[in-house]
Amino acid sequence: MGKLGEILKHPDELVPLLSMYLAARRAKALPKQPGLAFCYGMLNRVSRSFAVVIQQLPEELRDPVCVFYLVLRALDTVEDDMAIPQKTKVPLLRSFWEKSYDREWSMSCGAGDYRDLMEHYPLVTQVFQSLDKRYQTVIADICKRMGNGMADFIPKVVKTAADYDLYCHYVAGLVGIGLSQLFGSSGLESEGFGKLDDLSNQMGLFLQKTNIIRDYLEDINEEPAPRMFWPREIWDEYAERLAEFKEPEHAAAAVRCLNHMVLNALSHVDACLEYMERLRDPKIFRFCAIPQVMAIATLSKCYNNHDVFTGVVKMRRGEAAKVMFHLEGYNEALLFFKHYAGVLGKKAQAARDAGADPLADDVAKACVEIQAKCIARTLRRAQEKEAAFRARLATPASGSVRGSLLAMAAAFAAYAYRAAEVRAYLGVPFDPRFPQLDKLTRFLAIAFLLYALWVATTGRRLPVQ
Ligand code: D61
Ligand code: MG
């Protein structure tokens, strides 16, 4: 369907699409400094999804996170380049973190924009070295740990579910851990934020697992050699070889295995909700929550969907735009998670009724649990908000509030009883259309004075404070 057809079918996506288009256009305006210009230009070219959210981060974190992204993207380019022989690749991955301290270092590998990134790596290095030392340390440390982890996996296959979690920890969980450290050391989130390793790790696992599920076909068709991230322990319940799932005669088993993988990914949702609730800065929040909501939306599309094995399953652009547009804070994130868990749960119920998926019951249950957790969190937050409001009302007004209220009331009363004199002094004539005006003013003055006296003696706080 064409773009126009999509908009006619989903008119509520028009404004979000326009707003996203404008945000993407703003993001294309590059800084003047050549190093930064290269970094942001490259970010826009290599990352469709992260470029816009990174550029909406608070100023303080924008450059560090952009460099963090590019350094790890470069490392991943080394990992992904199947033309580099193992005996070169393994030591290169392990020492890659040092390259950000070497002004000269660059290499030619990868393809397209990735190759450009590798060949102009000194421009990344230059911006890296201009960052605050505390950010440099986080980026270099995560790069070192990720490179070592990737190197460990070069000769290995992802066999067990634990291997799968470990591989995802290296390539994405560590990103979450590093980001939390950057947030904590910026002072925009609490210092303790950098210590939420388990929750941060699961933020990354949820995103990476969703990608691995969605990218089955792309990864298995990779040239010169297929890449396989689905853990053997899971797929061997359904097939002899992972590549079988591409073949039409194995369609049913493929979808069952896919559903198993989706169920596995859903196990991280609760940790993700917990992590996001702890964020305080609204921009950091959006940066973290947008990819997470996209992930659960993508999982809901992938579940029980054979298209994963024949092509690309993706959210519609308009739907993604709607998430970006409406996701303001945690309450909206809970609504979105509840919504997509609902969509996924309905699909699981249908699969169960059709007898299509032996795990459908578990998936449906997991979805109901996610929905229940979203509702429980929403409710708890509403209660906390109410309690805070009550506490504020119950707190006595401060001495200065009581004093100034009393002074104001006294001044008003003085005016009310001297209104005629004030008029004479100012030369304003009495307006015969309002013969009762002075009486009314005096009445209001008395009421205000009584109220001020009541606040001054009982200390009851003004509800507007
Ligand atoms: C909050 C906000 C963003 C988060 C987060 C928490 C926790 C983790 C992540 C982002 C990382 C999620 C990665 C998911 C996408 N997977 C990949 O890109 C794979 O490469 C992994 C190694 C390089 C990671 C680079 C990266 C990615 C996102 C970032 C970031 C660094 C730095 C800051 C912010 C976001 C995948 O790449 C292939 C491809 O899709 O092109 C692969 O090779 O498996
Ligand atoms: Mg990779």
Q: Whose C-alpha lies nearest to ligand 1, atom 2?
A: 288
Query: Ligand 1: which of 171, 199, 201 to mutate, most ligand atoms within 8 Å of CB?
Result: 171
The fraction of the chain above a pLDDT of 90, given in percent, is 78
Separation of 200 CA from ligand 2 center, angstroms?
A: 19
| pLDDT of 390 | 87
| pLDDT of 284 | 98
Task: Please write the tens of the pLDDT for every residue from 184-211.
Answer: 999 999 999 999 999 999 999 999 999 9
Say which residue, 455 or 136, is predicted with more confidence. Answer: 136
Q: How far is CA 192 from the centre of its chain?
A: 19
pLDDT band for position 47 (cuts 50, 70, 90)? very high
Task: Please write the tens of the pLDDT for every residue from 133-189.
Answer: 999 999 999 999 999 999 999 999 999 999 999 999 999 999 999 999 999 999 999
Distance CA 100, CA 128 (A): 7
Average pLDDT, the chain: 94
Q: Who surrounds ion ligand 2 at CB < 5 A?
A: 76, 79-80
Distance CA 215, CA 268 (A): 19
pLDDT band for position 438 (cuts 50, 70, 90)? confident
Structure tokens at 5: 């057809």
Q: Is the pLDDT of residue 462 over 80?
A: no
Q: Is the pLDDT of residue 5 over 80?
A: yes
| pLDDT of 2 | 77
Distance CA 228, CA 242 (A): 8
Q: Is the pLDDT of residue 65 over 60?
A: yes
Say which residue, 286 or 26, is predicted with more confidence. Answer: 286
* Catalytic residue check, 461: no
**CB under 6 Å to ligand 1: residues?**
50, 65, 68-69, 72-73, 76, 80, 171-172, 175-176, 179, 203-204, 207-208, 211, 287-288, 291
Distance CA 356, CA 395 (A): 60
The catalytic position among 227, 317, 381, 461 is: 227
Task: Please write the tens of the pLDDT for every residue from 306-340.
Answer: 999 999 999 999 999 999 999 999 999 999 999 99
Number of H helices, E strands in the chain: 23, 0
pLDDT band for position 262 (cuts 50, 70, 90)? very high
Distance CA 335, CA 96 (A): 41
Mean pLDDT of 32-61: 94
CB-based contact 199:274 (threshold 8 Å): yes
CB-based contact 125:103 (threshold 8 Å): yes
Q: Angle at Cα 342 formed by Cα 302 and Cα 353, nearest 5°?
A: 75
| pLDDT of 1 | 63
Say which residue, 218 or 27, is predicted with more confidence. Answer: 218
